[in-house]
Structure 1
Amino acid sequence: MGCLPSGLVDWDAVYSAIQPHATFAAGVLFGLAWWIWGDALVVSIALHGASFAPLSLLPGLGATAAVLLMNCVSRQEVAGEYLDEAATTRAKLLLLLSYLVSLGSLAGAVALLLAGAAGGGRAGGGGGGDTWVGASGVLQCCLVLASGMLCWFFHAEDSQLGGYSYL
């Protein structure tokens, strides 16, 4: 696989060792992401006197929507093992849409970080608190999307619970 010599790593053993804990780890990453953003917002308001800008909430909501879209599609649907060609194409398009939404939310978080660092056009400029909210927004998007990918990739395929071992 890739640049590693074949037979060096038993990927099936790695997958089976991680899979039972992946959904829990994805939930922890998701909760941590929103906690980091909320903490940065509260610190920005309390210590720097910034006001809440609802626009700073959008990248996290977009990343969350992308994760929801991503996890509506299973890997078997994308592979087309048991579906017809039209259903496989729909699954691939939904997965592509989730990737586009995730990239858009990440780009929005970076744009808010850059706007906060430049002062955001507000009177007084500076943007010290806004920079931390912007940086936490980028970190939030990355962690939410990592949790979604972890949950999607390590989905239990043969479970009666729709693929999630902890639900």
Structure 2
Amino acid sequence: MEFLFSIIGLISKKKNNQMDLGELWAIFSPGVAGAVFGAGWWFWVDAVVCSSVNISFVHYLPGIFASIAALMFNCVRKDDIDYSPYDEGEWRLKLWLFLAYVVSFVSLAASVGLLMQDSLVTSGPSLWTGTAGVLQCVFVLISGLIYWTSHSE
């Protein structure tokens, strides 16, 4: 319902020529982030369903950890990060963001490693399974960043 009211407010501002790109981003980017997140998981589900061999649980882990990383860096608002080196609570937020980015890059590296493994082994999952795993991680992490930039507006 809140989305409907924001669209109505957007239409009334458009009539007054007071459109702002930041306001548009704050309104529409959560939906875009959700669509990108869903597309990432859709690639993975498609690869699992269309696979002719049983896919091990290890292949699921990069997407799961990418989703956890997206949740981790969305726990921190952009407004809470100040660049003052003397603030006591700042380093905790920066450490949390650093750990979130480490988890995201490790999940991306793991998905690329599984893609390489799938391309070299003939008896394992197909090449599409590895490619879908990489696409899943990339899309999930991009959706997390899209949402992180929008929810602080």
TM-score, normalization: structure 1?
0.74
**Higher RCO (C-alpha under 8 Å, 6+ residues apart):** 2
Cα distance between partner residues in 1 of 2:78 and 2:152: 10
Cα distance between partner residues in 2 of 1:79 and 1:137: 35
2:32 equivalent to 1:36: no
Counterpart for residue 54 of structure 1: 57
Counterpart for residue 72 of structure 2: 69
Q: What displacement does 1:16 show?
A: 2.1
Counterpart for residue 8 of structure 1: none
2:43–2:132 contact (8 Å) kept in structure 1: yes
Counterpart of 1:109 (choices 111, 130, 134) is 111
Q: Which amino acid aligns with 2:23?
A: S
Cα deviation per residue 1:105-157 (whole Å; 9 max; x = unaligned)?
000000000000001xxxxx265x42111100000000000000000011144
Q: What displacement does 1:14 show?
A: 2.6
Structure 1: stretches of 5+ with no match in the other structure: 1-11, 120-124, 158-167
Q: Which amino acid aligns with 1:52?
A: I
Cα distance between partner residues in 2 of 1:37 and 1:141: 9
Cα distance between partner residues in 2 of 1:80 and 1:20: 27
Counterpart of 1:91 (choices 84, 89, 93) is 93
Counterpart for residue 150 of structure 1: 146
Counterpart for residue 18 of structure 1: 25
2:78–2:152 contact (8 Å) kept in structure 1: no
2:63–2:107 contact (8 Å) kept in structure 1: yes
RMSD: 1.9
Structure 2: stretches of 5+ with no match in the other structure: 1-18
How many pairs align?
134
Which structure dedicates a bigger proportion of its chain to helix? 2
Cα distance between partner residues in 2 of 1:105 and 1:156: 25
Identity of aligned residues (%): 37
TM-score, normalization: structure 2?
0.81
